[in-house]
Each structure stands twice: as structure tokens, then as C-alpha cells.
């Protein structure tokens, strides 16, 4: 009922998992990751405990192979399970029980493993490794390319419903929530991979907005000692976020705010006029952020 790709990025150490299934909310079941440690993808007639128990094994310092052996050893129903493991060194291990519904199987690549069950054909998981290794895009998009290839090869024999893509950094941390690089889920959709693709682009756009919005001096606190290159980079990030957001004016709004903070009043006024033409409710929001010091309204002349 599910196909997935679990991988480590050899360049950054990041760990990622992508999955699709004809099952509601597959993201809450299959993929388990920990920054700088590794990950587990547990599926078929799924035992969700394989995820946290597998991470416990990796945390103890054992390899992907040993982790997998330990998980299977205590499971009387392992013939119905499908599971993959990747460790911090990029070593991968996988298992497909002989009671998993065909087409079912897995294929290993460099620092990656693809697996699936109840598939249209074995080409589904085979194509994932080929697409992942051929793609030159950033790591999350490489996983997304693998999911798209699987779907194009026939995907789940029953159809499509939900998908997930999650990536964490290669850094061990006492604050692991800070090392989550991407976490996007589609719980119920006619084209979950297409929707996941759209949401990944929105995720990147939202990250660009957040990087500027939460930046001291640039947006938070007094605008001071901001080098021209810093300003140009922040404005470019906000402009780049506008297209993926479509009619959502969040990036354009904060770009206008930043222009005003930087003293580029004429450009700010023109952009605010554009924003308010399609999102008039943001006028009141502008007054609200002015009350707490994000912008000086006295310098602006807004129609």
C-alpha cells in the first residue's frame, strides 16, 4: 500500500524520508528521523513501534544492519513487515517480509534505500533510486523527484491518497526541533505528490519570509547597521518568495515594510498600493505592526 525513499545526503549529512500511500495520513506512521543520527521507514502491515525503537538502537551507536536485525528478532509477525534503516554514516539496511503483498521489494543505492508494497510493479521502487541519483537539485527535491518517478511508474496499486516529505539536519543537538529542515504532509488528496510538490515550494518561500521576519536589526528591533548587501539579500529573498505564494501577499507585504524601514519610501508606497489592491485587510494589519514599532507610519503617504 506504500512506497518510500529513505536517504542521507553525503554532502550535508542531512537525513530525509519521502513516502506516498493509498492510506489516510501516511506521514504519521512511516517515517522516523533524528538529526545527526539516522532514520527508519516502517510500512506494509505496519508496526509503528519500529520507528522509535529503531531510533533507540541507532542512538546506542549500532549500525543500520544491527538496528534492523534487532527490530526483526522480537517480531513474530515480521513476515508482514517492510522496513528500511539509514544510519549517520549513510549505511542502509532493508527488509521485505514474504507475506507483504506484491509487487513488493526494495532497492539500495548510495546512501539511500527505496521500498514499496502493494505496488503496480517492481518498477515503482526501482525507478526511485534512479531518479534520486540522477537528480542534481537540493536534497529535499531529490527525494521529491524519487516520489514523482515512483508515481509515474504506476505507484500504489490501489491509487494515491497521502504523502509526506521530512528532512532533518546532520547535526546532533540537545534541541532537535531546531534541526528540522522540512516537514510537509498531505493527508488526503487526489494527487498527493502534486500537492506535496506545491507545498515544498511554499515551505521554501515561507522559510525565506521567516529568515527576514525574525532577523534582528533588519526587521526586529531598530533598523540599524544593516549593510547594503544584507538589505539586498533580504529584499531578494522576499521577492523570490512571492511567486510560490501566488495570491498570498505575505512576502510582498513584508518587502514593503522592509523598504520603508530602509528609507526607500517611494518604493514602499508603490508596493503597499499593490498589496492593498488585492488584500485590503492588510491595511489594518499595517497599523497593528506600526503600534509595536515595526514601521513609522508618519513617513508614508498611502492612498
**pLDDT, tens digit, for every residue of 33-57?**
999 999 999 999 999 999 999 999 9
Cα dihedral angle (195, 199, 202, 207), rounded to 10 degrees?
-170
According to the model, what pLDDT value does residue 242 have?
96
**pLDDT, tens digit, for every residue of 202-229?**
999 999 999 999 999 999 999 999 999 9
All structural domains of the chain, each given as residue ranges with its CATH number in brackets, are 2-205 (3.60.20.10), 214-299 (no CATH)
**pLDDT, tens digit, for every residue of 84-118?**
999 999 999 999 999 999 999 999 999 999 999 99
| pTM over cut 0.75 | yes
**Could you tell me the mean pLDDT of each successive run of 10 residues in the chain, 303 residues long?**
95 97 96 97 98 97 97 97 97 98 97 97 96 97 98 92 98 93 97 97 96 95 95 97 94 97 96 96 95 92 85
Average pLDDT, the chain: 96
Amino acid at each position: 500500500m506504500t512506497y518510500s525513499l529513505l536517504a542521507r545526503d553525503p554532502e550535508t549529512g542531512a537525513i530525509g524520508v519521502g513516502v506516498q500511500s493509498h492510506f489516510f495520513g501516511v506521514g504519521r506512521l512511516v517515517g522516523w528521523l533524528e538529526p545527526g543520527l539516522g532514520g527508519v521507514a516502517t510500512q506494509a502491515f505496519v508496526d509503528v513501534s519500529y520507528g522509535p525503537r529503531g531510533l533507540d538502537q541507532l542512538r546506542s551507536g549500532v549500525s543500520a544492519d544491527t538496528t534492523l536485525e534487532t527490530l526483526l528478532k522480537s517480531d513474530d509477525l515480521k513476515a508482514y513487515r517492510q522496513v528500511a534503516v539509514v544510519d549517520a554514516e549513510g549505511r542502509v539496511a532493508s527488509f521485505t517480509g514474504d507475506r507483504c503483498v506484491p509487487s513488493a521489494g526494495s532497492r539500495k543505492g548510495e546512501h539511500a534505500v527505496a521500498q514499496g508494497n502493494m505496488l503496480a510493479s517492481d518498477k515503482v521502487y526501482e525507478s526511485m533510486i534512479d531518479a534520486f541519483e540522477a537528480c542534481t537539485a537540493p536534497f529535499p527535491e531529490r527525494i521529491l523527484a524519487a516520489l514523482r518517478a515512483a508515481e509515474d511508474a504506476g505507484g500504489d496499486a490501489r491509487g494515491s491518497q497521502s504523502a509526506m516529505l521530512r528532512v532533518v539536519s546532520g547535526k546532533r543537538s540537545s534541541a532537535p526541533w531546531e534541526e528540522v529542515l522540512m516537514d510537509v504532509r498531505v493527508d488526503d488528496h487526489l494527487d498527493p505528490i502534486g500537492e506535496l510538490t506545491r507545498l515544498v515550494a511554499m515551505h521554501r518561500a515561507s522559510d525565506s519570509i521567516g529568515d527576514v521576519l525574525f532577523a534582528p536589526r533588519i526587521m526586529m528591533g531598530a533598523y540599524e547597521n544593516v549593510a547594503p548587501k544584507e538589505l539586498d539579500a533580504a529584499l531578494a529573498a522576499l521577492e523570490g518568495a512571492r511567486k510560490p505564494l501566488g495570491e498570498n501577499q505575505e512576502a510582498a507585504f513584508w518587502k514593503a515594510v522592509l523598504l520603508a524601514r530602509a528609507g526607500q519610501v517611494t518604493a514602499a508606497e508603490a508596493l503597499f498600493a499593490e498589496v492593498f489592491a488585492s488584500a485590503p485587510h492588510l491595511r489594518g494589519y499595517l497599523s497593528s505592526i506600526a503600534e509595536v514599532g515595526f514601521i513609522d507610519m508618519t513617513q508614508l503617504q498611502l492612498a
